């Protein structure tokens, strides 16, 4: 595709929508500049946010993998010399950026004397040190002119170094020490630094020097001073080449002076390692290099020997390893190389490779004077001697990297050479004709910094140095999806060895390819050093649990940290060299396109870095990323000033380079159905990549970390968040104002015709993914605003005011969690509540803070939340006002707002609000708000379903019911409080509102609720408080349903039947009582059951005939009840009968069973009366059941008579009269109870038994004894006479004997006499009108005629009867 033609097609796009700098300057607080959301925030879609977050994580993982590890690249072969060298400047890897001359006053002093002068760099404190004779000057190169000086010692200063101090020796202000070396002394000066505003809005370091009174005389001049992390200082003797340590301590002690110089090369070490001792003066130590990450240091000797040392206890060091014969080892790796000869092989410097640069463990690089680099890494063997530290792996030479063989002389670079075709990226640089390739011969100063090598070579022009600058060529070693064309192998020198037996896996590794250039520098170089890495650097900001890119991968870091820079100190001043990043080259190519219209450099860069990486960089340029300008004079963090025209070209290039998404169809074998995956366009990939790189410094970091005073503090420096937010907001604004960037073009050939189904699927997938990323982008911007606002309000204190559970959640929450998961939403809401409460507590209006929250981070403070805060504000106003009307207004408004925001009202907050309402005697709020919240917390009615289902165990819906129940309990609590106030008011009249009125109103509101579940809870509560009678009087709407609801209880049923009585429904009351009496689930006493049945019968009888047309049913029900009552009475009598026998073995269980329930009459007979042989109970059962069976009842009566006789007559000498009395005592009560029941009182049989007994004991028992007993039993006279007369006439034994017949006649005479006497009495039952005079008269005639003459007494009786009959009838 031709970029030029695309621009022609849409000439207006470059200027149609501008996206200029968002912020003019970086002044003001962080919070004041946070961005404002321009449109309402949609409802949080957490799954979509999480999907977008996974996309970011994928990009972060890609960033950690696209550039191979240094160790992997050099392990493929023993040596290499592959370099990319370009003659043109737009692809030059380094650029000179700035120069500052030495301050005028110092320059004049320097040039006007012939005194000894030394100088060097101290970049940690932004200073150049210049020693002129015994005077030390520290030049602040950020300020430009400021000088500090130290002139308090007399000797010529030869060397100065800056090291860390030991902890606890100096005051806290001293953060570093200057070590000043003269030929005869070494002394220490304390240094403290304070950041202060500098020129051009930059920050500079103000220093103070402190005399330490620590110095020591020495026999040799010291050089190459280094310090360790724990404050120990090592140095090399310039004349003897020994390893020394300057030991210092706070005070002098018994065993050591305050300052000592210890020679580690002699003494104890000599016996172990004699070859290092002072005797070998020719091979003296030339340089020491610290390796703080691995807790060791290295020494380099004049004869190219490298030693590894480790501190080992105070004043001791341990020698771990010596690497010698390095020339031979290097030659074995590159046999025949002209760069390696005994004459030219001289190691100029050692440099440590940071562990973060090489995961494979490359540890050290040595650079020779002619530019050959020797890489050392640990071998597979561990410590080689007894003195080696445990776990130390010996170093060995791993790889030899030759100097660039094809360097272009700086003079040649002024003639740019450019091909027309875009076949960039395959190392054409090596194929360009050069008039004189430049060969490195004598490097002096060198520097190695995270993959970048810079060294100084004296120029072939007077007073000029050449800087050799080498950096990894990411376009050759990275997996960027770049267009490489046919892979042309770069020409390798014939002496470069590939090793023997190289495996396919090793051979397939990407070899190290670097870009190299020579830069001329006027003046002679004294020192060079990398500018200390920015605090925004990936080295300082990538958290442990985030996939981290290798430091060589500047594509990943160029949007979140400044370009890497290097300082060169020459006799003409300071020079800055900046590493040109891919984004710098792309920006320059766009500017060239604007000026010259040449799009080829843009296309070349796109092909070199790949579509996705280029799109990410174009987004950064179009949105004005804060790190675009390598030498920005304004403070880091301001948006870069990108012209609208340049931004327009970047946007158009982003659109055109991004191409279209595609769809890959996958058909499942054996089915007609297919599925597919979208391959996203470069635009979507570029967006995801740029977004991920912007958030990497904080995305996976915990929100907080432990801070001072036990409080939490922000886990990421807030300025890192501010800068990230500015870049994210600029990106969002760019995309919001240019929505077309993710649409298919109207003129695109896919849009011109009907798009195929697969193309539509691809576009749909892309749109969905982009939409998710944009949502996440907006939410992330708001999240940073939210965090910065919390930080401004003292985050640690806010967290400490949250409850324990929230504190625990916040302590483990990452920024990603805060933005994308539920617990982040919960924690953020809790923190917002704390801020608002803090504002309310300080009597500050919540309107201000809630507006700030909604504007800056709307998704963290919803409209509902704001309503709640305003409601709290209204309560506060209600508390403050003294006007009752105003108070009611404020309270009413607060209730309205609380009810609107009820969905977001946490229970603890609700409890607090109800407490406020109670204090203010606001019954409406205290009752209605919790009831409303109960409904709001169960919108799907799961709690209600659970309640209706009877609250089954282990049901997941129970939690919804529990939430409702807690709200109901708040209402009950309010009612309790108002009740208590009523009681208190009767003792004190000081309360303002009338408590009776408030209480009455509260109950009125509670009973007015239409929430049946609440009513049920309320009724239970009232019943518990012994207010059941009042409840029955009120008869509220849901009371009947509540009392009938499962689980039923005796108390509920007792109230229910009373409710029906009060409600005029006696029949329903009787039904309830019957259920109670007959229930088996309640443990009721038998007499209680009987009582319920009695009440049931009474209520059933009260049922009016007309009600509900249930007359017949009611009568049947009453009859049934009465029968059950009778049986129950039998059961009670049975129970009482067994009480004396309840402990007998065969009675115990049966006795207990009688209390469990009501039994029917058959059960009572078969299970109790019969087995326990209870004759009286049998009679009662037969009576109640009206069961007529002579064979059952006669044996019972026989037994009664037998018991009456045997119990007495068995005793010798007891008279029959006593037996007669016993029988009388038994028969009369039974007769009175059961007569006229034939079932229980068979009259004929009983009369026979009585008469037979009297006949047996004639003479002992008076005549008339038997009939008189029957009359007392309630048998009417006529019936008794009929039976006796029948016996008289029967002639059946024993009445066939005349004596017995005469005895019966005497009984009849007594009976008739009693009858007549009874009939004569007024109001007698045997009234005269019914008296059978004629019949008796005739019978008496018969009895007299048949009477024996000797029975004078009987005869007299009969005659008296006749007289009475005649007299009275």
The answer, as to whether pTM is greater than 0.75, is no
Asked if residue 528 has pLDDT above 70, the reply is: yes
Taking each helix axis as running N to C, give the angle between helix 644-657 and helix 582-596, from 0 to 180 degrees, rounded to the nearest 10: 110
> Among 227-241, 251-265, 555-569, whose mean pLDDT is lowest?
251-265
| Pairwise CA distance, residues 304 & 261, whole Å | 26
The pLDDT tens digits for 1138-1159 are: 889 889 898 888 888 888 888 8
Q: Where are the beta strands (DSSP E) in 249-313?
A: 259-263, 285-291, 296-301, 306-311
What are the backbone angles phi and psi of residue 172, rounded to the nearest 5°?
Answer: -65, -30
Three-state DSSP class for residue 943: helix
pLDDT of residue 686: 95
The pLDDT tens digits for 1209-1222 are: 455 545 788 888 88
**Side-chain-side CA neighbours of residue 294 (13 Å):** 26
pLDDT of residue 568: 92
Q: Secondary structure of the chain: what % helix, strand, coil (to 5)?
A: 50, 15, 35
| Pairwise CA distance, residues 828 & 812, whole Å | 13
Q: CB of 519 within 8 A of CB of 656?
A: no
Q: C-alpha angle 1027/1029/1035, rounded to 5°?
A: 105
**Runs of H (alpha helix) within 754-845:** 757-792, 795-800, 804-812, 815-820, 822-841
pLDDT of residue 1209: 45
The pLDDT tens digits for 1351-1361 are: 889 999 989 98
Contacts (Cβ under 8 Å, ≥6 apart) of 707: 713, 796
> Among 162-166, 167-171, 397-401, 1322-1326, whose mean pLDDT is lowest?
1322-1326
pLDDT of residue 288: 95
β pairing state of 393-401 and 79-80: parallel
Which of 277-286, 531-540, 1234-1243: highest mean pLDDT? 1234-1243
The pLDDT tens digits for 159-179 are: 999 999 999 899 989 999 999
**Average pLDDT of span 1170-1194:** 87
pLDDT of residue 357: 83
**Average pLDDT of span 429-433:** 43
> Among 181-185, 637-641, 871-875, 1365-1369, whose mean pLDDT is lowest?
637-641
> Among 138-147, 563-572, 611-620, whose mean pLDDT is lowest?
138-147
Asked if residue 1365 has pLDDT above 90, the reply is: no
pLDDT of residue 619: 94
> Among 35-49, 1177-1191, 1333-1347, whose mean pLDDT is lowest?
35-49
Residue with token string 């770069």: 490
Q: pLDDT band for position 93 (50/70/90)?
A: confident
**Runs of H (alpha helix) within 1321-1351:** 1333-1345
Q: pLDDT band for position 7 (50/70/90)?
A: very low
Report the candidate in 1159, 1164, 1182 with the shortest Cα–Cα distance to residue 1233: 1182
Dihedral of CA atoms 734, 735, 738, 742 in degrees, nearest 10, equals: 140
Give me the sheet containing 393-401, strands edge to edge: 79-80, 393-401, 373-382, 364-368, 347-352
| Pairwise CA distance, residues 994 & 966, whole Å | 28
- DSSP letter string over 539-595? HHH--TTSPPPPTT-HHHHTTTSPPPEEEEEETTEEEEEEEPPHHHHHHHHHHHHHH
Residue 871 vs residue 368, higher pLDDT: 368
Residue 712 vs residue 105, higher pLDDT: 712
Asked if residue 1090 has pLDDT above 90, the reply is: no
Asked if residue 434 has pLDDT above 80, the reply is: no
- DSSP letter string over 167-183? TTTS-TT--EEEEEE-S
Give me the percent of the chain exceeding a pLDDT of 90: 33
Residue with token string 């104002």: 737
232's tokens? 């120990």
| Pairwise CA distance, residues 155 & 53, whole Å | 63
pLDDT of residue 1317: 87
What are the backbone angles phi and psi of residue 474, rounded to the nearest 5°?
Answer: -65, -30
pLDDT of residue 499: 46
Compute how many other C-beta atoms are within 10 angstroms of the C-beta atom of residue 1335: 11
pLDDT of residue 1202: 84
Q: CB of 142 within 8 A of CB of 198?
A: yes
| Pairwise CA distance, residues 1359 & 1003, whole Å | 89
The pLDDT tens digits for 1032-1059 are: 888 888 888 888 888 888 888 888 888 8
β pairing state of 203-217 and 185-197: antiparallel
pLDDT of residue 636: 53
Contacts (Cβ under 8 Å, ≥6 apart) of 1016: 947, 1038, 1041, 1042, 1045
Q: CB of 727 within 8 A of CB of 642?
A: no
Give bridge partners of residue 466 from the DSSP assignment: 457, 520
The pLDDT tens digits for 491-505 are: 455 555 554 444 444
Task: Let me know if 324 is exposed, middle or buried by CB neighbors in 10 A (0-12, 13-18, 19+).
Answer: middle
The pLDDT tens digits for 1271-1313 are: 999 999 999 999 999 998 888 888 888 889 899 999 999 999 9
Three-state DSSP class for residue 1231: helix
**Average pLDDT of span 554-571:** 89
Q: pLDDT band for position 400 (50/70/90)?
A: very high
pLDDT of residue 486: 36
Q: CB of 928 within 8 A of CB of 1005?
A: yes
Mean pLDDT score of the chain: 83
Q: CB of 81 within 8 A of CB of 404?
A: yes
pLDDT of residue 615: 95
Residue 746 vs residue 467, higher pLDDT: 467
Report the candidate in 699, 815, 725 with the shortest Cα–Cα distance to residue 778: 725
Asked if residue 58 has pLDDT above 90, the reply is: yes
Helix (H) or strand (E) holding 161: strand 159-163
- DSSP letter string over 757-772? HHHHHHHHHHHHHHHH
Entry field: residues in the chain? 1369
pLDDT of residue 41: 43
pLDDT of residue 817: 93
């Amino acid at each position: 595709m031709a970029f030029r033609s695309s621009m022609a097609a849409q000439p207006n796009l470059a200027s149609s929508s501008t996206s200029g700098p968002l912020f003019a300057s970086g002044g003001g607080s962080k919070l004041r500049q946070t961005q404002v959301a321009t449109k309402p925030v949609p409802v949080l879609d957490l799954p979509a946010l999480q999907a977008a977050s996974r996309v970011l994580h994928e990009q972060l993982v890609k960033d950690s993998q696209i550039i191979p590890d240094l160790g992997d690249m050099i392990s493929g072969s023993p040596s290499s010399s592959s370099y990319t060298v370009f003659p043109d400047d737009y692809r030059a890897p380094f650029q000179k950026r700035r120069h500052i001359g030495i301050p005028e006053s110092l320059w004049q002093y320097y040039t006007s004397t012939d005194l000894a002068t030394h100088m060097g760099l101290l970049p940690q404190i932004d200073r150049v040190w210049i020693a002129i004779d015994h005077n030390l000057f520290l030049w602040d190169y950020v300020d430009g002119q400021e000088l500090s000086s130290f002139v308090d010692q007399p000797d010529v200063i030869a060397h100065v170094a800056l090291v860390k101090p030991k902890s606890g020796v100096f005051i806290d202000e001293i953060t570093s020490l200057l070590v000043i070396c003269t030929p005869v002394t070494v002394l220490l000066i304390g240094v403290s630094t304070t950041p202060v505003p500098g020129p051009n809005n930059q920050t500079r370091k103000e220093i103070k020097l402190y005399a330490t009174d620590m110095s020591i005389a020495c026999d040799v001049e010291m050089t190459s001073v280094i310090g360790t992390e724990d404050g120990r200082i090592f140095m090399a003797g310039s004349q003897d080449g020994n390893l020394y340590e300057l030991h210092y301590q706070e005070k002098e002690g018994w065993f050591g002076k305050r300052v000592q110089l210890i020679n580690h090369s002699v003494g104890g070490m000599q016996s172990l390692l004699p070859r290092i001792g002072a005797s070998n003066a020719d091979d003296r130590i030339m340089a020491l290099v610290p390796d703080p990450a691995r807790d060791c240091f290295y020494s380099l000797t004049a004869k190219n020997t490298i030693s590894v040392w480790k501190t080992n206890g105070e004043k001791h060091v341990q020698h771990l390893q010596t690497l010698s014969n390095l020339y031979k080892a290097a030659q074995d790796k590159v046999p025949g190389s002209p760069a390696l000869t005994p004459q030219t092989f001289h190691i100029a410097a050692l440099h440590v490779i940071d562990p973060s640069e090489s995961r494979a463990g490359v540890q050290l690089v040595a650079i020779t004077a002619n530019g050959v680099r020797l890489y050392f890494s640990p071998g597979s063997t561990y410590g080689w001697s007894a003195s080696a530290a445990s776990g130390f792996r010996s170093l060995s030479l791993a790889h030899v990297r030759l100097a660039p063989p094809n360097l272009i002389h700086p003079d040649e670079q002024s003639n740019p050479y450019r091909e027309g075709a875009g076949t960039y990226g395959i190392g054409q640089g090596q194929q360009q004709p050069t008039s004189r390739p430049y060969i490195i011969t004598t490097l002096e100063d060198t520097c190695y910094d995270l993959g970048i090598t810079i060294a100084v070579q004296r120029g072939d022009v007077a007073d000029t140095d050449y800087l050799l600058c080498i950096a990894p060529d990411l376009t050759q070693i990275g997996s960027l999806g770049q267009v490489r064309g046919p892979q042309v192998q770069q020409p390798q020198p014939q002496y470069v060895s590939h090793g023997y037996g190289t495996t396919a896996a090793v051979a397939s590794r990407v070899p190290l390819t670097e870009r190299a250039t020579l830069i001329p520098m006027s003046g002679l170089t004294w020192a060079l050093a990398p500018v200390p890495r920015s605090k925004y650097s990936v080295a300082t900001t990538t958290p442990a649990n985030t996939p981290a890119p290798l430091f060589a991968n500047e594509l990943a870091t160029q949007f979140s940290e400044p370009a890497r820079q290097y300082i060169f100190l020459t006799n003409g001043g300071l020079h800055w060299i900046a590493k040109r990043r891919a984004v710098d080259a792309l920006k320059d190519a766009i500017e060239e396109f604007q000026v010259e219209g040449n799009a080829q450099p843009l296309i070349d860069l796109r092909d070199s870095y790949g579509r996705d990486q280029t799109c990410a960089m174009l987004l950064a340029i179009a949105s004005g990323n804060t790190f675009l300008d390598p030498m920005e004079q304004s403070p880091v963090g301001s948006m870069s000033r990108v012209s609208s025209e340049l931004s327009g070209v970047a946007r158009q290039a982003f659109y055109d380079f991004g191409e279209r998404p595609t769809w890959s169809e996958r058909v499942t074998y054996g089915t007609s159905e297919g599925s597919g995956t979208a391959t996203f366009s470069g635009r979507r990939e570029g967006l995801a990549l740029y977004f991920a790189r912007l958030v990497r410094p904080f995305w996976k970091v915990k929100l907080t970390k432990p801070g001072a005073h036990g409080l939490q503090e922000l886990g990421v420096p807030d300025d890192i968040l501010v800068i990230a937010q500015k870049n994210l907001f600029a990106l969002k604004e760019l995309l919001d104002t240019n929505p077309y960037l993710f649409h298919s073009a109207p003129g695109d050939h896919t849009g011109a015709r009907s798009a195929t189904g697969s193309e539509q699927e691809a576009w749909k997938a892309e749109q969905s993914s982009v939409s998710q990323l944009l949502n996440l982008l907006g939410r992330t911007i708001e999240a940073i605003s939210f965090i910065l606002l919390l930080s401004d309000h003292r985050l640690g204190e806010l967290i400490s005011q949250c409850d324990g559970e929230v504190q625990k959640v916040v302590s483990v929450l990452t920024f990603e969690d805060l933005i994308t998961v539920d617990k982040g939403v919960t924690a953020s809401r809790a923190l917002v509540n704390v801020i608002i409460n803090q504002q309310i507590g300080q009597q500050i209006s919540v309107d201000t803070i809630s507006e700030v929250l909604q504007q800056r981070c709307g998704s963290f403070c919803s409209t509902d939340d704001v309503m709640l805060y305003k409601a709290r504000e209204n309560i506060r106003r209600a508390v403050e006002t003294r006007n009752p009307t105003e108070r009611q207004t404020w309270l009413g408004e607060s209730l309205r707002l609380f009810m609107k925001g009820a969905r977001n009202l946490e229970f603890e907050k609700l409890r607090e609000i109800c407490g406020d309402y109670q204090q203010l005697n606001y019954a409406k709020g205290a009752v209605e708000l919790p009831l409303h919240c109960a409904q709001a917390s169960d919108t799907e009615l799961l709690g209600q379903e659970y309640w209706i289902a009877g609250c089954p165990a282990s049901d997941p819906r129970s939690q919804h019911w529990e939430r409702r129940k807690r709200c109901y309990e708040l209402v009950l609590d309010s009612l309790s409080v108002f009740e208590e106030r009523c009681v208190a008011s009767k003792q004190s009249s000081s309360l303002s509102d009338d408590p009776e009125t408030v209480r009455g109103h509260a109950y009125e509101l509670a009973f007015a609720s239409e929430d049946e579940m609440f009513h049920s809870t309320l009724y239970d509560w009232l019943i518990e408080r012994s207010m059941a009678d009042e409840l029955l009087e009120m008869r509220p709407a849901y009371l009947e349903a509540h009392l009938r609801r499962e689980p039923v209880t005796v108390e509920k049923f007792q109230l229910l039947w009373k409710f029906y009585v009060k409600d005029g429904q006696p029949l329903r009351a009787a039904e309830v009582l019957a259920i109670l009496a007959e229930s088996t689930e309640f443990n009721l006493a038998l007499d209680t059951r009987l009582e319920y049945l009695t009440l049931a019968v009474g209520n059933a009888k009260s049922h009016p005939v007309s009600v509900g047309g249930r007359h017949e049913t009611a009568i049947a029900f009453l009859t049934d009840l009465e029968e059950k009552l009778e049986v129950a009475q039998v059961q009670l009598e049975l129970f009482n009968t067994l009480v004396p026998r309840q402990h007998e073995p065969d009675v115990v269980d049966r006795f207990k069973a009688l209390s469990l329930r009501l039994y029917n009459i058959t059960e009572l007979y078969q299970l109790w009366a019969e087995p326990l042989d209870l004759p009286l109970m049998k009679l009662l059962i037969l009576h109640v059941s009206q069961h007529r069976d002579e064979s059952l009842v006669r044996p019972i009566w026989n037994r009664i008579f037998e018991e009456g006789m045997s119990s007495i007559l068995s005793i010798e000498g007891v008279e029959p009269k006593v037996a007669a009395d016993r029988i009388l005592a038994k028969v009369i009560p039974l007769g009175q109870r059961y007569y006229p029941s034939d079932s229980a009182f068979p009259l004929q049989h009983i009369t026979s038994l009585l008469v037979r007994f009297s006949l047996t004991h004639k003479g002992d028992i008076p005549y008339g004894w038997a009939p008189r007993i029957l009359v007392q039993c309630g048998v009417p006279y006529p019936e008794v006479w009929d039976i006796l007369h029948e016996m008289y006439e029967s002639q059946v034994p024993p009445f066939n004997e005349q004596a017995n017949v005469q005895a019966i006649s005497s009984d009849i005479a007594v009976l008739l006499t009693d009858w007549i006497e009874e009939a004569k009495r007024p109001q007698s039952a045997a009234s005269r009108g019914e008296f059978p005079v004629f019949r008796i008269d005739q019978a008496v005639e018969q009895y007299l005629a048949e009477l024996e003459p000797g029975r004078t007494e009987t005869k007299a009786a009969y005659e008296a009867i006749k007289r009475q009959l005649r007299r009275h009838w």
